[in-house]
Structures are given as C-alpha cells and as structure tokens.
Amino acid sequence: MHRSYEKKGVIMPEEQVQLTDEQRVLLRVGAVCAVLGSIVSVAAGTGFGNLTNSAGAESVLRHIAARPEWYWPLVHLGFIAGALLWVGAFIALHGSLRDGASRALGRLGAVGVILGATVHIIDSSIDGFGLTALSSAWAAAPASQQTDVLHTTVALLLILHGTWAGVISFFHGVPFVLLGLALIFSRTYPVWLGWVGVIGGLGSLVAGITMFFGVGFFESGLFVVFAIVVSVFMLVMGALMWRHAGSEQGMLSAGTGA
C-alpha cells in the first residue's frame, strides 16, 4: 500500500510528491557536504593516525615536534571542518524525509549530530592547539625541564582520551544509529543503506562506551573500522541525495523497493 500526502487539497501518493526548488537546492548542498565531509574527515584521520591513543606521552611530543608547526593544528582543523560539513548533510537529509517515523528519527539524528559535533570541536581544539604548544615547549626546554612538560602532557592525554571517547560515542555513534533507522522506515532511500548506518553507528557507540570503561579500543584502533563504515555511508548518502534532488518526481525508485 502506498502512503499518501495532501498537497493543495489533493491526495498524492508518495512517489508523486514533488520537491520544491528550495528543497532541491538544500539537498544538493547537503549532498556536497556529505561527500566533502567524508573526504576531509578521512584525510584528517589519516594524518591523526590514532597517535594520542596508541602512543605514550613522550612519543606523542616527539612525533609532533618532528613535524612542521602547522601540521597538527591542520589535522584537527580538518576534523572540525568534516564535522561541520556532516552537520549540514544531516540537516539537509532530514528535510527530505517525509514519513512520520523516519522524519522524527531524522530530526533526532540531526540534533544528535550537532551535539556530537560540538564534542568533536572541543576535542579537536584542545588536541590541535594544546599538544602543539606542549611539543614546542618540550623540544625547546632543557632536559631538566622536559619532565615537567611530560607530566602536563600525560594529564592532557587523559582528558583527550575522555573527549575522544565522547566523539566516538556521540558523533560517530548515536546520530548514525538514528539516521540509519530513519532510512529504514523511509520509502525515499534504500533500506540496505539504513542498515549500514545502524551498523556503523552502533559499532561506534559500543566502542565509545567501552573506552569510558578503559577497555583497549584506544590502543587497538578497532573503532577506526566503524569510522570508515560511517564515512562510506555518508559518501553513498551524498550520491543518493544528489540523485534524489535531480529526479523527476523527487523520489528514489530504490526507496520503493525497486
């Protein structure tokens, strides 16, 4: 049975609902945000290399000090840019979900990704600026004073472990579970893609929660697998949003099970 919607007093089946020009533009902007956000986030993650989670304080300082001063801040500006781009993609995608359940879940996902991005920005700001400053101070300090910088770095890394666990849980995790469920309940986008989002988000959420309890996900980097899953999810989502914006009826045949 087809769901239907009322438009100007006429009941129309979902497949015939037309997108307005404004909705099409928003979807295309969201599609670009989804794709660019994935590219920038993966590039930043490659530069990050799970360094602060897998190496000791002295190794972290030595690694950052050996690189140009702009390197570590640029990596974290990449994380911030990627997070903000994904926020734009979530908001645009939510606007294309029409059914009650999927639209409600999509709205919750958009709110969740805003909160998660806030945690990500805080983590990246502390990491990108704080560790760069400490590595410069450590490299310039005489050997007798390097120990003090090292102790400060140990304390900062403990803080960053907590904020990073928050990023994994509430940026890579909860929003993607909600958005994936929204797609599953929607007839606009493929159900299989919704399950990819749920798997990536749920895996990230479990990884983040276990990090809070000190389980070795930091060192193993297993959470990176789920980060890649949600990045691929956003790449595909961006392509489908662009296609959806340009489709004649403003609906995807994949969403009807075709």
Q: What torsion do the CA atoms of 182, 184, 189, 193 make, to the nearest 10 degrees? A: 110
pLDDT, averaged across the chain: 85
Band (pLDDT 50/70/90 cuts) for residue 218 is low
Using alpha carbons, select from 168, 139, 129 the residue that is nearest to residue 61: 139
> Is-contact 181 194, C-beta < 8 A?
yes
Predicted pLDDT of residue 232: 95
Q: Is residue 258 within a helix (H) or strand (E), and if so which, with residue range? A: none
Band (pLDDT 50/70/90 cuts) for residue 146 is confident
Q: What's the whole-number mean pLDDT along residues 117-134? A: 95
The pTM assigned to this predicted structure is 0.84
> Is-contact 238 32, C-beta < 8 A?
yes
Greater confidence, 233 or 12? 233
Upper half-sphere CA count for residue 71 (Cβ side, 13 Å) = 13
pLDDT digits (tens, 9 = 90+) for 192-216: 999 999 999 999 999 899 888 877 6
Q: What torsion do the CA atoms of 104, 110, 113, 114 make, to the nearest 10 degrees? A: -130
How many CB atoms lie under 10 A from the CB of residue 95?
A: 18
pLDDT digits (tens, 9 = 90+) for 23-56: 788 899 999 999 999 999 999 999 998 888 888 8
